[in-house]
Amino acid sequence: MFLRNFKRRFLGRRNQVDITPDDIFLDSSNLPDFDTFQFEGQIEKTISRRTIFLLGCFFMCILILFSFRVKNLQITQGAFFSSKGDNNRLKHSIIFSERGIIYDRNGEELVWNSPQKKEDQEFFKREYSDYKGLAHILGYVGYPLKDSSGNYYQTDYIGKSGVESFFNEKMSGENGLKIIEEDASFNIISESSIKFPECGESVILSVDAKIQNALYGYMESLAKNVDFKGGAAVLMNVQNGEILAMVSYPEFDLKIMSDGEDKETIAKFNLDQQKPYLSRATMGLYTPGSIVKPFLSVAALNEEIISPYKSIYSSGSISIQNPYFEDKQTVFKDWKAHGWTDMRQALSVSSDVYFYAIGGGYKDQVGLGIEKINEYIKLFGFSEETGVEGFIEERGVIPNPKWKAENFDGEEWSIGNTYHTAIGQYGFQVTPLQAVRAISTIANEGKLLKPTILKKEGESTDYRKLNIPEEYFKVVKDGMRLAVTDGTAKGLYLSFIDVSAKTGTAERGVLKDRVNSWILGYYPSDEPKYAFVVIMEEGPVHNTIGGLYVMRQLLEWMNIHTPEYLK
């Protein structure tokens, strides 16, 4: 009953229309001012109750949906959207910490920070001293990086090489954080720091920047004037392992590498045949030539295969029976005929025949043999990393039967290979830093030091003591002093300092038309304080000046500008 009344009242009867009597007699002929052009006289149909009901239901659904949405925004997720709204007004900004400063041993700044403004944010760029020769020691950095939206995805300075890399964590410090309040127009209303930055620690190097600069300058000048391809040099304290100077020529520009913006110059560095990125002092592998002779001398004395007073005759070469042809002799040449020489004299004039004999044996002279040569050369630190901070190092090669078999398709070792190894040829390869460490061991009579680029006080306790009598080192030291007063290193005979040294020349190239020129030694001769090594790489074979000339120039410069290191 209720449903029938509801349908009658709100839905009505389908197709039922009420007509009054007046409507029957009213038409266009008796209706005054009837305008057919304005659609007057047409029968109008009212909106049905059903349509109104359905429309009401539609709007009621809309209202219910909006109510649920409002509840979700205001109550369920109100706190989240409130926080998000605050963040739209409060911006977090990094306060970059200052990276640690790098000083030389005398307190002179080598690397420091320069404040910059970058997009309303304080930013620090690394600045470098004008001293040359420091690139491989100091290294460079990578700056914080942003994505395309302007947000930092790398917020730290990253050391890429050298000291900057090795001491990166120590020098980095810790960034701070700042909150900036902005209005709707991005105008800053207020700023406040919620975490202050912590500066990184500074590093004090053992290097003297003035000596480093002078040494690099002399190497650069010689390389350009004589056509050497590169070079390396190290000056080291023989008591505590401090490196006073360590140069690799050529080098790269630290500021250009850190900024990373001069792509053209960086591309030139990458393609440069002289390899400016190579730290030649620690990664350059060079045939040592005659600079190995002092170490073989110590080995021969310690093995008691020869007396330091026994003389061996050099006519300019030795000959041995060719193992493959009975009617032929194999000749091993000396660089000149030296006549009779004992150990001190052989070191002085660098007699190859003498070291052929004590290395591989000849006639009545027993030789060390390749196994003992390997043993003693390793004892002086060759074929191992020195452990210096901040550098990747090459280990080098000491030729031996196993090495030959692996690299020459199983070939057997011969006596000729031993002879060549005894004078630092064949496949022998060492780094300049290994060489200066080894000669320091002779200078201090048995302490194989760990080199360091950090300033230290007093003598080092970080060393291996060689179990070799001091008297044997003294014989070799006499020979190296004799080389300066009367032998191959006479260019270092100076009035203001007594120097002991050993030269070395190693042939390069298929045509042997290029040479590496070595000098290594120490000073003062009586009470050694500093050892040195210089190598000039791939110069013309007929050139008469090389590493020795560089070292002489440096010592003369030091006598005027830094005499404290010569006392």
Using H for helix, E for strand and C for coil, what is the string for 157-218? Answer: CEECCHHHHHCHHHHHCECEEEEEEECCCCCEEEEEEEECCECCCCEEECCCHHHHHHHHHH
In a domain, 214, yes or no: yes
Q: Are residues 547 and 407 in the same domain?
A: yes
Task: Verify cis geometry, omega within 30 degrees of 0, for the bond prior to 250.
Answer: yes
Report the CATH number that the domain containing residue 199 is assigned in CATH: 3.90.1310.10
Q: Which domain does 557 fall in, by range?
A: 209-565
Percentage of the chain exceeding pLDDT 70: 85
Distance of alpha carbon 339 from the chain centroid: 49
**Higher model confidence: residue 76 or residue 481?**
481
The three-state secondary structure class of 101 is coil
pLDDT at position 186 over 70: no
Of 183, 204, 225, the position where a domain reaches its end is: 204
Could you give the number of structural domains in the chain? 2
Q: What does the pLDDT read at residue 147?
A: 82
pLDDT at position 39 over 90: no
φ, ψ at 133 (rounded to 5°): 85, 5
| Burial tier of 419 (Cβ tally within 10 Å: 0-12, 13-18, 19+) | buried
pLDDT digits (tens, 9 = 90+) for 381-420: 999 999 999 899 999 999 999 999 999 999 999 999 999 9
| Burial tier of 63 (Cβ tally within 10 Å: 0-12, 13-18, 19+) | exposed
Q: Are residues 452 and 354 in the same domain?
A: yes
Q: Are residues 129 and 252 in the same domain?
A: no
In a domain, 336, yes or no: yes
Of 157, 180, 204, the position where a domain reaches its end is: 204
Of 182, 204, 226, the position where a domain reaches its end is: 204
- Per-residue pLDDT, averaged over 19-28, amounts to 54
In a domain, 301, yes or no: yes
Q: Are residues 200 and 214 in the same domain?
A: no
Rounded Cα gap, residues 554 and 532, in angstroms: 11
Pick the range with the lowest mean pLDDT from 26-35, 62-71, 84-93.
Answer: 26-35
Rounded Cα gap, residues 438 and 377, in angstroms: 9
pLDDT at position 216 over 90: yes
pLDDT at position 13 over 60: no
Q: Are residues 217 and 355 in the same domain?
A: yes
**DSSP readout, 38-55?**
GTTTPPP-PPPHHHHHHH
pLDDT at position 358 over 50: yes
Report the CATH number that the domain containing residue 450 is assigned in CATH: 3.40.710.10
In a domain, 274, yes or no: yes
- Per-residue pLDDT, averaged over 88-115, amounts to 87
pLDDT digits (tens, 9 = 90+) for 540-561: 988 889 999 999 999 999 999 9
Question: By C-alpha distance, which of 213, 258, 254, 212 is closest to 235?
Answer: 212
In a domain, 9, yes or no: no
Tally the C-alpha atoms within 13 A of residue 494's C-alpha that lie toward its C-beta.
22
Q: Are residues 177 and 213 in the same domain?
A: no
pLDDT at position 21 over 70: no
Q: What does the pLDDT read at residue 6?
A: 46
Q: Are residues 146 and 244 in the same domain?
A: no
Q: What does the pLDDT read at residue 10?
A: 47
In a domain, 22, yes or no: no
- Per-residue pLDDT, averaged over 233-238, amounts to 98
Distance of alpha carbon 471 from the chain centroid: 41
**DSSP readout, 254-302?**
HHHHHH---HHHHHHHHH-TT-TT--HHHH--B--GGGGHHHHHHHHHH
Highest mean pLDDT among 22-26, 192-196, 503-507, 546-550: 546-550
**Residue 165 to residues 137, 242, 348, 416, 499, Cα–Cα distance (Å):** 10, 20, 43, 45, 36
Q: Are residues 332 and 442 in the same domain?
A: yes
CB-CB neighbours of 166 under 10 Å: 18
**Higher model confidence: residue 49 or residue 248?**
248
pLDDT digits (tens, 9 = 90+) for 130-178: 999 999 999 999 998 888 777 788 888 899 999 999 999 999 988 888 7
Q: Are residues 198 and 213 in the same domain?
A: no
Question: By C-alpha distance, which of 250, 187, 246 is closest to 215?
Answer: 246
In a domain, 15, yes or no: no
Pick the range with the lowest mean pLDDT from 188-202, 297-311, 366-380.
Answer: 188-202
Q: Are residues 139 and 222 in the same domain?
A: no
φ, ψ at 483 (rounded to 5°): -65, -30
- Per-residue pLDDT, averaged over 40-52, amounts to 66
**Residue 543 to residues 29, 227, 400, 468, 483, Cα–Cα distance (Å):** 133, 10, 32, 38, 20
pLDDT digits (tens, 9 = 90+) for 265-301: 999 999 999 999 999 999 999 999 999 999 999 999 9
Bridging pattern class, strands 102-103 and 188-195: unpaired
Highest mean pLDDT among 56-70, 317-331, 343-357: 343-357
Q: Are residues 310 and 357 in the same domain?
A: yes
**Residue 366 to residues 104, 247, 300, 348, 373, Cα–Cα distance (Å):** 50, 40, 10, 22, 13
Whole-structure pTM value: 0.82
pLDDT at position 379 over 90: yes
Q: What does the pLDDT read at residue 83?
A: 56
pLDDT at position 372 over 90: yes
Q: Are residues 296 and 383 in the same domain?
A: yes
* Four-CA torsion 261, 267, 273, 274, nearest 10 degrees: 0
In a domain, 33, yes or no: no
Letter for the amino acid at 299?
Answer: A
